[in-house]
Amino acid sequence: MPETPNDPQSNTPEFTVSELAFSLKRTVEETFGHVRVRGELGRVTVAKSGHCYLDIKDDKAVINSIVWKGVMSRLSMRPEEGMEVVCEGKLSTYPGRSNYQLIIDKMELAGAGALMALFEKRKKMLAAEGLFDQARKVDLPFMPKTIGVVTSPTGSVIRDILHRISDRFPSHVLVWPVLVQGDRAAEQIASAITGFNCGDGFPRPDVLIVARGGGSMEDLWCFNEEIVARAAAASDIPLISAVGHETDWTLIDYVADYRAPTPTGAAEVAVPVRDDWLETIADYGLRLTRGLRRNVREKQAGLAAARLPRLQSVLSPVQQRLDLASARLPAPTRLFEPLAQKLALQRLPSPQRVVERAANALSAHRLPNLDRLLDVKRSQLSSLRLRAEPLQRDVERKEARVARATASMAMTAKRDIQRSADRLARAGKLLDAYSYQGVLARGYALVQNNAGDVVRSEAAVKAGDNVTLTFADGSRKAVIDGAASGSSSSKPKPKLAKKPKPKPTAIDQGNLF
Asked if 130 and 85 sit in the same domain, the reply is no
Q: What local confidence, expressed as pLDDT, does residue 192 receive?
A: 95
Q: Helix, strand or coil for residue 367?
A: helix
- Answer yes or no: is 212 within a domain: yes
- Answer yes or no: is 253 within a domain: yes
223 exposed, middle or buried (CB, 10 Å; 0-12, 13-18, 19+)?
buried
Q: What local confidence, expressed as pLDDT, does residue 352 receive?
A: 61
What is the distance, to the nearest Å, from the Cα of residue 465 to the centroid of all Cα atoms in its chain? 65
Asked if 49 and 158 sit in the same domain, the reply is no
Asked if 36 and 70 sit in the same domain, the reply is yes
Nearest-CA neighbor of 155 among 196, 205, 193, 211?
Answer: 211
Nearest-CA neighbor of 165 among 195, 207, 137?
Answer: 207
What is the residue range of 236's domain?
A: 121-275
- Residue-wise DSSP of 48-80: TTS-EEEEEE-SS-EEEEEE-HHHHTT-SS---
- Answer yes or no: is 423 within a domain: no
Q: What local confidence, expressed as pLDDT, does residue 496 receive?
A: 47
- Residue-wise DSSP of 198-228: H--SSPPPSEEEEEE----TTTTGGGGSHHH
- Among 241, 275, 309, the domain-final residue is 275
- Answer yes or no: is 367 within a domain: no
Residues 6 or more apart from 486 whose CB is under 8 A from it?
458
Helix ranges (DSSP H) in 256-350: 263-270, 274-328, 332-345
Nearest-CA neighbor of 175 among 142, 208, 200, 212?
Answer: 208
Nearest-CA neighbor of 266 among 236, 244, 235?
Answer: 244
Alpha-carbon gap, residue 421 to 40, rounded angstroms: 40
- Cα–Cα distances in angstroms (integers) from residue 278 to residues 10, 273, 282, 379, 388, in the given order: 87, 9, 6, 30, 18
Asked if 179 and 206 sit in the same domain, the reply is yes
Please check whether residue 147 is in contact with residue 174, taking contact to mean a CB–CB distance below 8 angstroms.
yes
Per-residue burial over 231-266, b if 16 or more Cβ lie within 10 Å, else e, is bbbebebbbbbbbbeeebbbbbbbbbbbbbebbbbb
Asked if 72 and 189 sit in the same domain, the reply is no
Asked if 47 and 75 sit in the same domain, the reply is yes
Asked if 99 and 146 sit in the same domain, the reply is no
Please check whether residue 201 is in contact with residue 239, taking contact to mean a CB–CB distance below 8 angstroms.
no
Q: What local confidence, expressed as pLDDT, does residue 488 receive?
A: 43
Asked if 94 and 135 sit in the same domain, the reply is no
Q: Check which CATH number belongs to the domain holding 42 and give it.
A: 2.40.50.140
- Answer yes or no: is 230 within a domain: yes
Asked if 210 and 108 sit in the same domain, the reply is no
Q: What local confidence, expressed as pLDDT, does residue 358 receive?
A: 59
Q: What local confidence, expressed as pLDDT, does residue 510 receive?
A: 47
Nearest-CA neighbor of 194 among 232, 238, 159?
Answer: 232
Alpha-carbon gap, residue 217 to 245, rounded angstroms: 12
Domain count, the chain: 3
Phi and psi, residue 482, nearest 5° = -90, 0
Alpha-carbon gap, residue 196 to 208, rounded angstroms: 8
Alpha-carbon gap, residue 85 to 100, rounded angstroms: 20
Asked if 105 and 135 sit in the same domain, the reply is no
Alpha-carbon gap, residue 225 to 235, rounded angstroms: 16
Nearest-CA neighbor of 211 among 169, 149, 168?
Answer: 149
- Answer yes or no: is 342 within a domain: no
Q: What local confidence, expressed as pLDDT, does residue 172 receive?
A: 94
Number of H helices, E strands in the chain: 13, 13
Asked if 164 and 267 sit in the same domain, the reply is yes
Phi and psi, residue 192, nearest 5° = -65, -45
Q: What local confidence, expressed as pLDDT, does residue 191 receive?
A: 94
Asked if 196 and 241 sit in the same domain, the reply is yes
Spans of the chain below 70 pLDDT? 1-10, 76, 109, 111-114, 307-312, 314-315, 318, 325-337, 339-371, 373-374, 377, 380-391, 483-513
